[in-house]
């Protein structure tokens, strides 16, 4: 039964994504239990964003199966996507609207009841966007866009949040606010699936993590098991490999 807490939040089975002759994701399989922070980490070009884009239904994978809260994304797409909140770079926003107007527009599209107004006000306050109520989205900084995208992702109270590099280009104060919101969401039973290069955040918040490289899962497990007695950052470098950095004589 899709609403059972024992049903995984996200299941990816043999997920494969090709772009011509390039293999971006190679038979990747992951299961994300419900009600937790789950991190996906890897070097640039590892296939993280491609994988999350497929999970969000924004790209049809070459092959493989994706289930969201028990709903098959291919055969029960509407029900699967209804469980999701998405925060990814590149998603367009109505540039000539304010934050409140964008949230009202989203609520109307989703057919939400009037409860959205309280949720919108709370989100704008905790994310610091209520301080600029008349500012149009077109005038937003990168960090402000991240925050309004998070508010949009949470407005309909989804069961699963998918976040791609949520702290990229975010100042420490904004990052603190976003982290606080995400913790509340998980404590309330939600599931966060995120990719990030910020190992400190992943180590501090995620219960499980998958290290991905070359479109494949190198290792998956609890953060403690994956870190294997060292820091997650050091273990990550060991797993994905790091080319030696030669000395530059002209810098000496």
| Region(s) of the chain under CATH 3.40.50.300 | 1-83+158-167+187-242
Phi and psi at residue 202, in whole multiples of 5°? Answer: -60, -45
Could you please report the per-residue DSSP string of 215-234? TEEEEEEEHHHHHTTS-HHH
The arithmetic mean of pLDDT across residues 81-105, rounded, is 92
CATH topology of domain 1-83+158-167+187-242: Rossmann fold (3.40.50)
pLDDT at 142 (0 to 100): 85
Structure confidence by residue, pLDDT tens digits, 118-140: 999 999 999 989 988 999 999 99
pLDDT at 72 (0 to 100): 96
**Residues above pLDDT 90, as percent of the chain:** 78
CA distance 161 to 37: 10
Structure confidence by residue, pLDDT tens digits, 153-182: 999 999 999 999 998 878 888 888 889 999
């Amino acid at each position: 039964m899709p609403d059972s807490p024992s049903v995984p939040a996200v299941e990816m089975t043999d997920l494969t994504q090709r772009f011509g002759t390039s293999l971006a994701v190679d038979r990747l399989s992951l299961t994300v239990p419900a009600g937790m922070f789950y991190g996906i980490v890897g070097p640039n070009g590892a296939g993280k964003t491609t994988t999350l884009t497929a999970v969000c239904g924004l790209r049809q994978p070459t092959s493989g199966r994706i289930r969201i809260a028990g709903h098959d994304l291919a055969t029960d797409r509407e029900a699967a996507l209804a469980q999701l909140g998405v925060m990814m770079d590149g998603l367009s926003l109505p540039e000539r609207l304010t934050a409140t107007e964008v949230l009202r527009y989203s609520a109307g599209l989703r057919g939400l009841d009037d409860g959205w107004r309280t949720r919108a006000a709370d989100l704008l306050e905790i994310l610091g966007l209520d301080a600029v109520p008349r500012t149009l989205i077109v005038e937003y900084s990168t960090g402000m866009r991240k925050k309004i995208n998070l508010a949009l992702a949470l407005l309909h109270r989804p069961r699963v949040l998918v976040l791609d590099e949520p702290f990229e280009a975010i100042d420490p104060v904004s990052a603190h606010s976003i982290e606080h919101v995400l913790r509340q969401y998980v404590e309330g039973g939600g599931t966060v699936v995120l990719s990030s290069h910020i190992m400190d955040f992943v180590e501090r918040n995620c219960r499980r993590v998958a290290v991905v490289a070359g479109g494949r899962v190198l290792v998956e497990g609890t953060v403690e098991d994956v870190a294997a007695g060292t820091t997650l950052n050091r273990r990550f470098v060991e797993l994905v490999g790091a080319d030696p950095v030669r000395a530059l004589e002209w810098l000496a």
